[in-house]
Structure formats: structure tokens, C-alpha cells
Amino acid sequence: MSEPVTLRVENNIAVITIDNPPVNALSHAVRTGLSRQIQAAISDDAVKAIVLVASGRTFPAGADVREFGRPRETPILSQVCDLLETSPKPTIAAVHGNALGGGFELALACHYRVVLNNAKLGLPEVKLGVLPGGGGTQRVPRIVGAEAALDLMLSGKPIQAKKALGLGLIDKIAETDVDDAALAMAQQVVLEGAKTRPTRDRADGLQDAVAFANAVAARRKKMKNDPLPSVARIIDCVEAAQILPFEAGIAMERTAFDDCETGPEATAMRHAFFAERRAAKVPELKGATLRPVTSIGVVGAGTMGAGIAIACLDAGFPVVLVERDQDGLERGVQRIVSNYDKSVAKGRIDAATGEGRLSRLTGTTNMQDLTPVDLIIEAVFEDEDVKRNVFAQLDEVMKPGGILATNTSYLDIDALAATISRPQDVVGYHFFSPAHIMKLLEIVVGEKTDPNVVATGFELARKLRKVPVRAGVADGFIGNRVLAAYRLAADFMLEDGATPAQVDAAMRAFGFPIGPYQVLDMAGLDISWARRKRLAATRAPEDRYVSIGDKICEQGWFGQKAGRGYYIHDQEDGPVENPDVLEIIEDERRAQGITPRSFSDQEIQDRCLFAMANEGARLVSEGVALRPSDVDVVLLYGYGFPRHRGGPMMAADQVGLLKVKNALTSWRAEEPRFWAPSPLFDELIKNGRKFGDL
């Protein structure tokens, strides 16, 4: 292996180059190399200044992911940063690409920073449940004060070079060659007496102590209820920058980092990070020949079709949008137009970009216009006959080798594929609403689907910036199956004594942005009603059935769009509990002879979580999900499952599988089939394993 860090001396300037492709991650070997070369440069009398550069596409973009969650071998990053900062010779960072996390901290420890104009700088550690551990919490506030430092570290969002310059975080923007610009600056600094400027000694950001303290206090108040311990620790560390000596602040940062890194939240967030990457690895990718996709057709321009078209236009594809009549088409196109108008108005894109994207859209009511298209995504009504009819028409017009993807939520893709002459070209692309925003894409693989079509789906997902997860054919695939279990567990509790508002509040406290009944009101109660009706025939007479939702639908209370559902929505001060629903619930309890009992938030959370994990385990056993972590990715990216809990399977692992299984078993008396623990629990428990080990 070539040296990851090299040193050369050019006209009295030492150039230390990091070369650890692809992203110059700060692995142990890189830290060791840096430490050695910095010391060599310092002790070389011919060297007057040191420039730190990176080869390849970026300055270090962060830590080495393989070291996540493990104790770091020395030298740790803050030791390397110390060397750079305490160097008696000026140190200058030349930054290009994405200087993130430890990469940015390395630059912050240098005395001067020159940055390429399109580079980004950031401290995203909070997104993994930790905090900067290389001195970032102490150095950034010393330069820019509390407000900007907290923004950077609590949002985790990178900033552009220009903004960094405005804040004073960097010294110069290079327009072309950043290494040359940094060398020129080094020469200049040497000419001017080779003054060092250790960040630890700077106090630019600390000057107004009152403003500093106020900014910290305001943020502490604002983030009071954040579930991540790292958030509070970042605020503490930033506060320390103002009141403690640098070394004490660094020690505090180190302790906070270690505490957070080993905590359940960071463990769950690391799991989410790796689970997402793992989900993209599917057997079909091996030896696959991708089918070319240069144009996309979307059939049905309703809620989903319009969103899918936007996602495809945003990714640069030309899109042919087909509706059944002119009115429908106009409505659909209008949806897309107003989306771009809004994006332009909000400054997310400029007008020319919006127009450019729209210009790639062709609307039509003629299926034949789809003949030249490589991939067609069908998003017509969720009705088997309608879909069959559309499939038959598409079979007529589609080019040979074209891909036919359906966005169905529940329908049997194999049955649909069997109705046409090319079942091998049929696949499910299950988008989530709003389709141009939600990250998840379930790629549903039918019995006859050509592996190359599956592989092409994963490649398309990458282009659409979606998170793809492979699913087998099953009613509701992965996500909606788990969701159904979640809702059923909640419905049982409604009938047994809880209220919708109480269940919603408990699940928000668990970390969901909104509770299950709020979601139902938002999505429309009629959709799940239709599913229950469709599945009625498959229900065993002994299965417990809760008809509260049906009774609400019978009143026409389909949720937000109808003004009422579980909540009343047309109120000035926001939704309130619907008293008529509470009456329906009481009537149902009476009819079932149920004496209501009370539920603690903990029990509500346990029942919902364990029901989800159990359904996830069943999906893995059935082969619908390839692995438990895929179930987690689906729930995290499609259903608002709190990231700091890592998904239902991870959350169950953290509770302990024996405990989960015992609880499930104890609830079996209430509903034998629903609460029966998946055999996967016993299999894992007896081998001392967890879902995460699969």
C-alpha cells in the first residue's frame, strides 16, 4: 500500500499531502502519517511553513467509518490537531471538496485556511448522535462566537466557502488551484515574519461575553426537548469555550464525545447509517447488465404520479406524463407547475432551473406516446381492474425491453404481471408521498422479474437520490405490512381503553413526528378502509377485528380532507379530538363487552414497537425483507420512525429480544395470531444473537 501521507519540501515550504482514496477518511494510518510528517516538517530547519493538502476529490470528508463506535487508536485526531496548532511554524490548510467532521477540524487547527470556491465545510457529527471530537467545539466558537458555532454543530449542515469566509472561519477563497493559492499564502506569511496564529489563542468570537451567553441560553431553551444527548453536550461544550481554558474545554469535549458515542442513540444512528448502505446491496446486482434508462413515462398524474414525475424531472430525465383525459392531464400538469413555482418563490431553485425542468415534461392522453420511453411507472388508481386494463394497454405500446414499474401500495405484482406478455419486465417501484420529497423507494421483486430490471431500479434510485430497499411480493410489501401491525396494536388499545390522542401523544414522545391517528387523518381514512374491505375474506373468524375505523368512515369522516376524522380539522386553533369518535369508541367497547382500562405511555410504546418488530421478523422469515436492517431502513425513511432509535428491529435489539418475546407471549391471550412471536425470536435468543447480527 502506498503511503497515505507524504511530505515534500518546495522553496522552504513543507507540503504534506493526504492520499487515502476515495474521500481521504482520517483512518488510523492517516493520523499516524500526519503526526509523523508534521513532526518531520517542524524539525527540518529548511522548512519555514507547512501547507496541508489532500489529493483526489476532497479534503478529508470525515472519520473512517470502520472505526465508528470503537475506541480510537492513538494518535487520535485531537492529538494531530494539537501538533498542527502548536507548531512553531505557520500551518496552512488547502481545502477542496467536502471538509467535513474531522477533516474540517484538521483545517481549524491550522493557523490559516485557504478554501476552493466550491468547497463545503461542516461538522455533521450530530447526525450520528455524537459531537465534534477533534477540538471543533472549542475552536469554532473562538473564531465565530456561539450563535454561528451552534448553528453549524446542531444542524450538522455543511456551509459554502463563501459563507465560511463571511463568518471569518477561513482566510481566503481560491478560484482555481487551491494548493497553489495556499502555497502563495505560505510564502507571504513567511515574508511577513512567519507568524503563527493558533486558533486556541484567538478570541474574536469570545469578545462579547454577554451576547455569547445569551446565544447559548437561547439555544439551550430551544433544544430542551431534543432526544439526542449529543445536542445538550454540544451546547455545554460551546458554553465551556467562553468560560474555561482551552485544555479544559478539550477535555470536556472528549468526555462528552466518549459518553455519546457509546450511548444507545449514537449506536442506533450508526446502525441507521450502515443499514442504509447495506440495503443497496442486493443479490440481483451481481453480474447485472443494467437496462438503459434515458427517458421515463408516468401513467396517472394524481398525487403520486405528479410527485414521481417531479422526482424524475429533478434528476434530469425527460418525462412523458399520461392521463386518461384532458381534464385529468391539466390538473396533473398544474400540480407539477405549481411545485416548481413554489420552489422558485422560496428560492430553492432559480427560475431558469425551474423552466428547464418543466421543459422536459410532455403531457399526453395517448398511451402510444409511451412507445419510445425506456421505463414506465404506473400510478393510476389502486384498483385491480383499472391497473389490469392499463397494463394491457401498455403491453401493446411498450418498446421491447422497456421496464414497466407499478407504484401499487398493496396489489399483487405477480398477478398483474401474469396478465401481460412480458412479466419479466414488471417490477414494483413503491414511492412514498410526497414522492419528490420522501427518500424511500421500495423495489418490489416479482417472481418473474428479470434481475437486470431489479438492478436497474437500484441504479435509478441512486439517480433519483432515493434510498432503495428490496422487497418481495406481499400485501403491503415491507413498510405497509409493518404499518398495518402498528395500527392494529394501536386499535386494540383504543378498544381496550386508550384514546386516539393519548396513543398519538405516546408515540410522539417515543420520537415519531406525529402519531398513528394523526397520520391516518392526513393520508385519508378511506385508503385503509378499502384495504380492510379487500382483506375481509382472508380474515379468520377468530381474529380480533376492531371496527372503530370503519364506523368513522361510514360517517364520511375521512380525515383532514373531509374536515374530520379522528380529529376535527376545521378549527381555528388547529385540530381537536373528535368527541363523536370517542363516542363511537365507547359504543364499540360496550358492544364487545370490554371494560376499559388505562394504558401508560410506556405500555402504548411497547405494544406498538413490539408489534412492528414482530411483523418485521415475520417479513424476514418469509423472505419479503432480505434482512432486519432493511425493515429498519424502510421505517426510518418512509414512516418517520425516529432515527435515534434506529428502526423497529434495532429498537427491539436495544430492549432485548427475550424481553420483547416474553411481552408478546404474555399478550397472546388477547389475540393469539397477532401477538404470536415470530419463530425468529427463539432462533436468535437461543444462540445469544440479535436482529443486528443477521
Q: Which residues bind ligand NAI (CB under 6 A)?
A: 299-305, 322-324, 328, 379-382, 386, 390, 407-409, 431-433, 523
Residue 146 belongs to what H/E stretch? helix 136-155
Residue 554 bears catalytic tag:
no
User: What region, left, alpha or beta, does residue 690 occupy, with left being phi > 0 and alpha being psi -120 to 50 degrees?
Assistant: beta
DSSP H helix total and E strand total for the chain: 27, 19
Give 135 or 305: the residue with its C-beta nearer to ligand NAI.
305
CA angle 452, 372, 410 (to 5 degrees): 55
C-alpha cell at 281: 446491496
Closer residue to ligand NAI in complex, CB, 432/458: 432
**CB 376, min distance to ligand NAI, A:** 11
**CB of residue 18 to ligand NAI, shortest distance in Å:** 45
The H-or-E segment that residue 683 falls in is: helix 679-686
Q: What's the distance, CA 115 to chain centroid?
A: 28
Provide the residue type at 322 as one letter. V
Closer residue to ligand NAI in complex, CB, 47/411:
411
Which phi and psi angles does 593 have, rounded to 5°? 65, 35
Residue nearest to ligand NAI (CB): 302
| Residue position matching grid coordinates 370490554 | 594
Q: Which is nearer to ligand NAI, 277 or 465 (CB)?
A: 465
Q: What are phi and psi of 111, to 5 degrees?
A: -75, -30
Task: Please state the closest distance from residue 257 (CB atom) to ligand NAI, in A.
Answer: 40
Quote the distance between the C-alpha of residue 275 and its chain's center.
Answer: 11
Q: Of residues 125, 239, 378, 442, which has the active-site annotation?
A: 125
In whole angstroms, what is the distance from residue 343 CA to residue 338 CA? 8
- Which residue in 105, 276, 323, 615 is the catalytic one? 105
Min dist CB 470 to ligand NAI, Å, is 17
The question of whether 253 is a catalytic residue gets the answer no
Cell numbers given for 648: 423497529
Q: Cβ-count burial of 386 within 10 angstroms (0-12 exposed, 13-18 middle, 19+ buried)?
A: middle
Kindly tell me which of 409 and 578 has the beta carbon lying closer to ligand NAI: 409
Measured from the CB of residue 524, what is the shortest distance to ligand NAI in angstroms? Answer: 8
Q: Which of 305, 324, 262 is nearest to 71 (CA)?
A: 262
Nearer to ligand NAI, 397 or 509 (CB): 397
Min dist CB 368 to ligand NAI, Å, is 13
CB 195 within 8 A of CB 90: yes
Kindly tell me which of 82 and 442 has the beta carbon lying closer to ligand NAI.
442
Least spacing, CB of residue 469 vs ligand NAI, in Å: 14
Rounded distance between C-alpha atoms, residue 680 and residue 175, angstroms: 58
222 — phi, psi (to 5°)?
-65, -35
- List the catalytic residues: 105, 125
